[in-house]
Every structure is written in C-alpha cells, then in structure tokens.
Chains A and B, each alone.
Chain A
Amino acid sequence: DSGVTQTPKHLITATGQRVTLRCSPRSGDLSVYWYQQSLDQGLQFLIQYYNGEERAKGNILERFSAQQFPDLHSELNLSSLELGDSALYFCASSPLAIETQYFGPGTRLLVL
C-alpha cells in the first residue's frame, strides 16, 4: 500500500459525459501527478500540482483539467468524453516537486 488513494476504482460512462476522478496523496506529500495509461499510448504524464499550484503540464487534452485543493487532495476532471479516453488514470504523489513518486491503485475509466 503506497498511501495514495484514488476513487472511484472503476467508472463506466457514456460519450459526451463528464467525470471527476479523485486522489488523496500520501500524508505530507505536497506534489500530485496525474498519468494516463492506455494500450496504445502507454503511460503518459498529464499534469502536476505542487502545494495547490499547477507546476507542469504534459500531454493533457484541453477537455481535461485538474486542481489541487488546500487539503492537498486533487481532482482530475474529464469532459466531453470520447471512446479513446477509456484508460487507467493514475495519481502519484511525492514530498516535493521532483523526486520519488508513489502511485495510487488507479481509476479504470470505460467510455461506452
């Protein structure tokens, strides 16, 4: 158990819908990262927050957004969902900005 929690574990929704994925980092970790894992793209970095502020952006679509709240939990919002958004979404956390990351169990999203 890494100490990073993600909810929900599974999510099934329809195209065009909007969903929110939630992540609670390890106690004391200030940095949260979001990754997408799909069969065709592999593991891709989406976005990073550090102590409430956006720090780095990766291959995140404009339809996706995220935020980190004062209690340091983070949410990833996915809107106007398409079939190709079906993937595993992982959250990771680390104490500071760039160092060892600890991953949550992931949220499996299926868009029908």
Chain B
Amino acid sequence: GNSVTQMEGPVTLSEEAFLTINCTYTATGYPSLFWYVQYPGEGLQLLLKATKADDKGSNKGFEATYRKETTSFHLEKGSVQVSDSAVYFCPYTGRRALTFGSGTRLQVQP
C-alpha cells in the first residue's frame, strides 16, 4: 500500500553541520511531496514542497528535490542551527489527504 519511510531519529548534529534527512515514498502516480516541521509544543509548519518530478523545493536554507526514479524527497541543509531542532515530516498527497510517516527528530547541539 501507499506509505512514507523516513530515516529513524533522533538525528543529532553539531551546529553548522550538514543535514540530510532521507524520505522515500510508495505511491501510485505522481503525488505532490512536502516537508513539514514541528517545533516543540507547536503545530506543523509547511517548510517546502514539490509538485512534479525534478522540482526542487527550498525555504530557510532547506532544500529537497523530487526524484521520481528513486521515489525520494530527501531534505538537506548546508549548515544547521540550534533553532532547527524539531521533528520533520515528509508527507505526500494521497488519494484522500496527506499520508505521513513517523517523522524524524533533529537535535542540534551548540
């Protein structure tokens, strides 16, 4: 069935390190792909999105490219900050609504 697989967390990095959070999906057709971020005690915020193959979404230094051949949408950032500590989700638009994976917790240490 349709699903999203995210890398297990927590991911622990030092400030200014390079970040990659892997995300792959199994779905029919070509869904739109998203990254949402959930800061402690808050709701989900849209971080970036891509609607078709080879699209690159970017926002606040984060980037992700829609790779149709590998059904992936990995999140990257060149230099993380302590303020990036949060849980990151990469849902996609399923037939009915967003299908979420388990999320990846990122902890950035000073």
Contacts and interface: CB of A to CB of B under 8 A. Distances in A.
Contacts of B46: 2, 100-103
Given A45-B98, A103-B36, A90 B44 contact: yes
Contact of A105 (B36, B42, B103): B42
Contacts of A98: 93, 96-97
B49 interface: yes
A58 interface: yes
A99 B98 CA distance: 9
A45 B96 CA distance: 9
Given A42-B100, A101-B98, A2 B49 contact: no
Interface string B10-36: 000000000000000000000010101
A56 to B, nearest CB: 4
A24 interface: no
A99 B32 contact: yes
A105 B43 contact: yes
Interface size class of A (residues with CB under 8 A): 20 to 34
Given A90-B43, A90-B44, A103-B45, A48 B96 contact: yes
Contacts of A58: 96-97
Contacts of B43: 2, 90, 103-106
B66 interface: no
Contacts of A103: 36, 43-46
25 contacts: A35-B98, A42-B103, A43-B100, A45-B98, A45-B100, A48-B96, A56-B95, A56-B96, A57-B96, A58-B97, A90-B44, A92-B44, A92-B98, A98-B97, A99-B32, A99-B93, A100-B46, A100-B49, A101-B97, A102-B46, A103-B36, A103-B43, A103-B46, A105-B42, A105-B43
